Amino acid sequence: DTGVSQDPRHKITKRGQNVTFRCDPISEHNRLYWYRQTLGQGPEFLTYFQNEAQLEKSRLLSDRFSAERPKGSFSTLEIQRTEQGDSAMYLCASSLGGNLRGEQYFGPGTRLTVT
Amino acid sequence: AQKVTQAQTEISVVEKEDVTLDCVYETRDTTYYLFWYKQPPSGELVFLIRRNSFDEQNEISGRYSWNFQKSTSSFNFTITASQVVDSAVYFCALSAQDSGYALNFGKGTSLLVTP
């Protein structure tokens, strides 16, 4: 399977705990995006990477959210001190580098439930 | 600033009917890109089409067709002879340079096709 993969698919955590999600993009894609989708809404952009460089992070929802892509391959999204409002689907997408306008391919998402 | 509006929240049709999903957008960029994605009940976003702002030619792909009109800032999507498998949430999205080419999604239109 050469699509975008995300792990875990589901995460249930208690309020106040930290969680980390992983995204593995399509292998030749060097752009990687994170989005959040809440019920009944379209995905909301959070951040993106070009290779290992995080080029936009002002849209991260708070300073509790951080993302990394240390070697320009997989990426992680961490949420510290989770709150019930963080419950959502977290989506990762990748696109082909050098083509800024290219279509993004999405992974299956990680559904987070904060109790 | 960018905005994508999908005024139709839910549409229900009977199989074999034609259906059009509306999308209206706002952007100050002169170069931008428009997309449609499908999100079936399984949840994974599926890329359908990308359109460049400088190419207003309409496109047809099987039962799907898209009508792009810059004069009305619209990018509508028509499914001809709908099928039950078309049941999904459909998202229109816009990307442009001022957002780092991240996708800005509408709220989606939920399409239900009944036998």
On the question of pLDDT at A99 being above 60, the answer is no
Specify the amino acid at residue A24.
D
Which residues of chain A are within 8 Å of residue B43 when distances are taken between CB atoms?
89, 108-109
Average pLDDT of chain A, as a whole number:
91
Rounded Cα distance between A53 and A56, Å, is 9
Residue from B46, B41, B44, B82 nearest B62 by CA: B82
Of A40, A91, A100, Cβ closest to residue B45: A91
Partner A contacted by B64 (CB < 8 A): no
What mean pLDDT do residues B63-75 have?
A: 94
The predicted pLDDT at position B10 comes to: 97
What is the rounded average pLDDT of the residues A37-62? Answer: 90
Q: Do A103 and B105 touch (CB under 8 A)?
A: no
Q: Evaluate if residue A110 carries a pLDDT over 70.
A: yes
Burial of B113 by CB count in 10 Å (0-12 exposed, 13-18 middle, 19+ buried)? Answer: buried
Nearest Cβ partner for A106 among B45, B50, B108: B45
